[in-house]
Amino acid sequence: MSNEYLVGLVGSGIQMSLSPILHETEAHTLGLDYRYVKLDVDNLPAPSQLGDILTAARTLGFSGVNVTHPFKQAVIGHLDQISDEAAEIGAVNTVVFDGSHATGYNTDSYGYQQLALGSLVGRRTGRVVQFGAGGAGSAVAYGHLDGFPGRLDIVDIDTDRARVLADKLAERFGAHRIGWAPTGDVAALVAQADGFVNATPMGMAAHPGSPLPAGVIAAHHWVIDIVYMPLRTQLMVEAEAAGAHVVGGHAMTAYQAAKAFELFTGERPDSQRMLAQIQREVAGRLASADA
């Protein structure tokens, strides 16, 4: 097996992504020649269509690409095959090229599940509300239902998208475990819930704000925000002020990256080392911003 790898990240507004340094640092430790580049559609010459980017990457000898917002669902139509889990989730965030063949996988679900299993020990999960039913939200919902008992209610600004995802997951986990609601109901749902998950980009620099009105989170809640940059989003700051148990998304990013790294290379990385790396990088950027 070759120890030379060219990998990319396809998405919009990804210039702040830590994926390149996360992958490349781990590869260097393992003695691999590994380059990870950003393929940001906002900075590519027009027309930068998803299919054209994937074709170019494969032609240029890429081992594969990670796929992020807004392409995790759209990419499926450009692939030859997807894993069973990705098919159930309805989203792909990792594409592996093998000659002319492109296979899609979803490592976001694994990443979320590892994050939640490590941070919700002893916490009630009987009723949880999730905001976001897009590509990342689909994976998070699947990972949560697969890893925890209880009910999950999904809310999205696109009510039809929330309903479609809930119906799809009901086939796998049972209708009694999954529901959906319009955004106007989110405050009432959260008031009755044990926890809340933000599975949208809201909270990032490019998408400021919080998915919840102020004052909705209380001390008995736990909150997971899958955003990892900044380290503390508006939602997290407000939840911490209310006394809630709050968890950011850096661990999800590290675990999903470790799984993708293994798919690209066949080598098993040290996920804890990658987690420590992303924590250092985020803390360093925060310190630089505050200086």
Pairing of β 64-67 and β 245-247: unpaired
d(CA 38, CA 36): 7
* Given 38, 72, 168, 259, the catalytic residue: 72
Residue 55, annotated ligand binder?
Answer: no
In the annotation, is 38 catalytic?
Answer: no
Residue 147, annotated ligand binder?
Answer: no
Give the torsion sign (CA, 105, 111, 116, 117). positive
Q: For 38-96, give the DSSP string.
A: EEETTTSPSP--HHHHHHHHHHTT-SEEEE-TT-TTGGGGG-SEE-HHHHHHT---EEE
Residue 256, annotated ligand binder?
Answer: yes
Residue 228, annotated ligand binder?
Answer: yes
Residue 243, annotated ligand binder?
Answer: no
Total number of residues shown for the chain:
291
3-state secondary structure of 253: helix
Residue 14, annotated ligand binder?
Answer: no
Residue 108, annotated ligand binder?
Answer: yes
Residue 200, annotated ligand binder?
Answer: no
Residue 263, annotated ligand binder?
Answer: no
Residue 84, annotated ligand binder?
Answer: yes
Q: Count CB atoms within 10 A of the CB of residue 153.
A: 21
d(CA 94, CA 139): 12
Q: Which residues are catalytic?
A: 72
Known binding-site residues equal 17-19, 68, 84, 93, 108, 132-136, 226, 228, 249, 256
Known binding-site residues for NADP(+) equal 84, 132-136, 226, 249
Known binding-site residues for shikimate equal 17-19, 68, 93, 108, 228, 256
